[in-house]
Structure 1
């Protein structure tokens, strides 16, 4: 029985026992009824108002959403979106994407269209244009509230306008006002995206549909209008056509190309690029993500550099790519330091889960590896004075000491990491630091800076433990350390996440990597220090340059075979404007990590300024396009139409329900409250009958 329910029933039981037979008075029965009813009502309130558990946690799969019911009015066209065309240019690890959506009002009334569509969490949306007949309207980037005000003013004035907003990092919403009968409107979006590697290959994903959401009343998105997007039932194809064309250019030779989602065809072009298109006559392509996997790695460590020369600023990107398959002889010596939180907030379930995780992490280590464990709370201590070989005896000793550890004290993570960085490390060893914590600290800014400034000394990965992990901290550490966050909410997740971690870090091929530009004036370089090149993680370096494109980039480091030295020319400029937006998006992402933690108005303003300066859609900026011609003399007669999106492939109608039915379904706690109330009232009624019977027989 839940603790709150148990304590409430216990209190009710005591109250009933207190109602022992006493000399009867006319008002005693009424007082008893009022007292018991008050207790029952309190019980109901306690049950119904129990805090929702994990309502705001990211949902990993489709849950009960709503189902759009057409109103059957022939004067309205409920499908104003007619086609989506996607053009993609990939330069190495950068995708420059243009999306063209065509709307057509085939009805007899002026309408306003709202359409939710998905995007990548890595996307930097930097442009929007609207074509209305033969007129082209270029959208302007504005502060979000100002853009909304301009859109509302244009709509009230009867002008055709378009507003593009970001509701989530990967969910966008388009509003188009005053689409008149017969209007053919074309909306063109531009965004760039950095493509992170996955298990040795790169992957470009174009999301085509937003999956249906169940919107719990307890959710932080309970009032979010974008969630109420209509969805077509399973089996009903969208009337929207979908086409995609992709050109792939790489600084390193292309090694493989495939799509697990769509039938494609590819052809080499005269300029050295590869053109990828959808095979004609296939299944509808807009009810599932388009996925393209490609591999750049060869038999050896490869490197490349791209330069872009803009009007006001110039940008560059350098890439150091590990080999496709890493032989054991190419792996540099490995050292692992596990930094485990044993503070008071980790007591119980989190610490027990951390112990389970540590077993899964140290189990696959080889005797040639070395490791150590640093336990921290208000202070910190190493289990060994220095790292020891990962022999069975040393691993068992570490696990035994962990089993005897209990949680207590504060959470001084920064001093613990500083102690790790102060520990001497051999120059040919790849050191990986694994932080295991619930993230309940208040020094995030200093922590992120500490990780960034020591990228050349250690690879840092963070495991978040517990049912309410500080996800902002975990994701911020991953971004600062150029790694990936690992979240474990229950002990059964430990083995899976540990295996994912080992696949990522098991093959370091280059350590002590340094980049030096000779003859090229560079600045605002990201990252300031370079991490190790791992078998599943290349190193990306980007920044700005000025002057003439000249000189060379010198890369140096240590591999398993000794010193590594490579020289790349920096004299050739390529047409890769996406590098400009990539640099700005990276800065915005770093600032967003901080905003999520401390909510600083100064940081919000810096994000807004970057969005305005680089014409980027952010959580604080939107795109607005307004046709200055008044086209609707009666703007209040315009009808709102929400365009229904296709149901994702593989999802059936069991995932759909009328929104009214969803909202009217009582929660389990409500049913429990009703049952408790009825039970108490039944007990009181029974007792009242007994008292009456006693009075009649007396």
Structure 2
């Protein structure tokens, strides 16, 4: 070996050493992602090449139900496995009507409590603390059901515990209470539009693709291929104190164990102990016969004000004895819309087909109907709605049975087509929209519903393990209809039967609430139409002296009047925040009616600060007093890609092969510490739902020195070595 060859080997060895030494700290982390691109809760650590995922050690959910209100506490524990000071981002879904009011973060031996400030002020407080080396956290609302927490200056090897608390009003429908805890945010389809930006020298136009969703990059998550075998274990415990005996407690989404305690208290936990964060958790319960509530009242005295939460269940309509069995049934035109886009692949499309075919069999001979399917395109079964008969129903069943899932979720053209009235004229026109709601342009869709609804009514049916319930609840509200969620294929017939029972019953409309005192502020201000089996729920701030409330409305040819004494009731902490959350929701709805943004944002921010809840214009911020990080160190960001929602098809979305279902997660062995947790890096098993052209082709390992710089130095050294080798051989 001549001297030049010796130099080549000496230069090559350091080059290889740099790459290996700096890859090891990152192998415990996940792949690159963006701040709000996780479908389920996950902690992102900021590094020089972007955000990467810290390992999740455990997620515990505790739900306590008292009367009409559920209080939920979510605890997630994370670990920083790097040798760096880092900044972390924690992304999580919550129910769309949740009032988030508490954040506690424990980092090492320091406990930080959050306080609510106006968004810009909270961001400035956080950034100042970060620059001074102090630990700080910031909670922001992305959408009513998606939140983000950012944590600054987490030290090497430190554990992080995040405890978030919120409350919500239970759903009550047809003598059944239910609560839903979302664990996964499904990726949203973002439609694009083309416009001419100018003309080139060749004479042809230059086109620009634009996405009409301003925050598209914050709601389009990357997905983890089920073939990677990655798990996100979650434990869930629920305590139900309903105040009366229950005949049934069940979950249509997960196996559960139920234990009855004294005083009509029920303890519920997952049968398997842990589940994966790939499907929303739904729990429902039903009172024994004779205990179905007709009304309920909960109240709270807070900061000198009296707040009340009132539920009234209108009595079922009695048949008119002079009209035979019932009133004459009105003829109806029913337009069915079924989502056949790629996100509906797998179990979802089969569930949607089953629901639609079952519903076709419920139509009456005096009705007319049509079916519209949509993905990237829109197609009608008939050019116009047709009368119901054996031939048309048979043709529709065959057509629906042959549908498959593919393409994008271009919902707006399908919605527009459904809202256009054809030549058929029936006394009632209704649209039944079957979808998972996986879209990002919700505001555009709601605007069209409000503008073009006319005399139609819109009913949304949520399909799949993680539907966009925020959009579908709002769409039904704006469409004067109701939202039905089908959590599993076994529920299809029961839930669709309940929906059609509502449609065949007179609707309670033109509801007015009158109090026997002035100065009452109640929300919602305009009571929506109420269908059979649904309650009227009102949150009110009451002045002194209120003793009675009167509810009036119409149902068919019947005038309804209900008088209630509002004295007494049960004391319940949190009613004031429920009132504030409902007022915020009404203010946000006013934006779709043309209310000025400046006025609405000021009102919402004032409410959020006063009642200590997170809103679009208020955030939670927590700052430590003592600096702990070196002032001259800039914290880097790091992230765990989330699971594909259960029942979705990877093959339909991205091609390739579907993997077997993820295995059941297991608890770490007793005594296992964060340093003993072994993780596999799965960068090859993660795909972004952004355009593939914008995806990075490779991800570089990271240590305290940027890997891109190290590889650049290494490439330069290899080049020099190659030249020396050639000169040596020539000599």
TM-score, normalised to structure 2, is 0.55
Structure 2 partner of 1:309? 301
Structure 2 partner of 1:590? 586
Question: Deviations along 1:278-297, whole A, 9 cap, x unmatched?
Answer: 23x44534332211122358
Structure 2 partner of 1:248? 240
Which SS does the other structure have where 1:291 is aligned?
A: strand
Give the drift of 1:276.
1.9
Contact 2:298 2:569 (8 Å CA) reproduced: yes
CA RMSD of aligned residues (A): 5.7
**1:545 and 2:542 matched:** yes
Structure 2 partner of 1:174? 149
Change (3 A) 1:366 1:225: closer
Contact 1:178 1:635 (8 Å CA) reproduced: no
Structure 1 partner of 2:504? 506
Give the drift of 1:269.
3.5
Structure 2 partner of 1:89? 64
C-alpha distance in 1, partners of 2:535/2:317? Answer: 13
C-alpha distance in 1, partners of 2:564/2:582? Answer: 24
Structure 2 partner of 1:59? none
Matches within 5 A, 1:310-459: 310-321=302-313, 333=327, 364=363
C-alpha distance in 2, partners of 1:474/1:223? Answer: 19
Which structure exhibits the higher relative contact order, with contacts defined as CA atoms closer than 8 Å and separated by 6 or more residues? 2
C-alpha distance in 2, partners of 1:256/1:503? Answer: 22
Give the drift of 1:206.
0.8
**1:152 and 2:143 matched:** no
**1:112 and 2:87 matched:** yes
Which SS does the other structure have where 1:152 is aligned?
A: helix
Structure 1 partner of 2:630? 633
Give the drift of 1:258.
0.6
C-alpha distance in 2, partners of 1:69/1:163? Answer: 14
Structure 2 partner of 1:262? 254
C-alpha distance in 1, partners of 2:523/2:688? Answer: 50
Structure 2 partner of 1:294? 285
Aligned partner (choices 275, 278, 289) of residue 284 of structure 1: 275
C-alpha distance in 1, partners of 2:503/2:496? Answer: 11
C-alpha distance in 2, partners of 1:136/1:69? Answer: 20
C-alpha distance in 2, partners of 1:609/1:71? Answer: 32
Which SS does the other structure have where 2:101 is aligned?
A: strand
C-alpha distance in 1, partners of 2:325/2:314? Answer: 11
Structure 1 partner of 2:264? 272
**1:574 and 2:536 matched:** no
Question: Deviations along 1:88-107, whole A, 9 cap, x unmatched?
Answer: 12234432222122223244
Question: Deviations along 1:311-354, whole A, 9 cap, x unmatched?
Answer: 332221222336899999899758869999xxxxxxxxxxxxxx
C-alpha distance in 2, partners of 1:214/1:480? Answer: 22
Which SS does the other structure have where 2:643 is aligned?
A: coil
TM-score, normalised to structure 1, is 0.57
Give the drift of 1:630.
0.9
Structure 2 partner of 1:185? 160
Give unmatched runs, 5+ long, in structure 2. Answer: 1-36, 192-208, 335-355, 368-386, 390-415, 417-426, 433-441, 461-468, 485-494, 655-684, 696-731
C-alpha distance in 2, partners of 1:661/1:569? Answer: 54
Q: Radius of gyration: which is bigger?
A: 1
Structure 2 partner of 1:163? 138
Contact 2:105 2:160 (8 Å CA) reproduced: yes
Contact 1:98 1:189 (8 Å CA) reproduced: yes
Contact 1:215 1:222 (8 Å CA) reproduced: no
Give the drift of 1:636.
3.5
The count of residues paired between Structure 1 and Structure 2 equals 498
Contact 2:233 2:274 (8 Å CA) reproduced: no
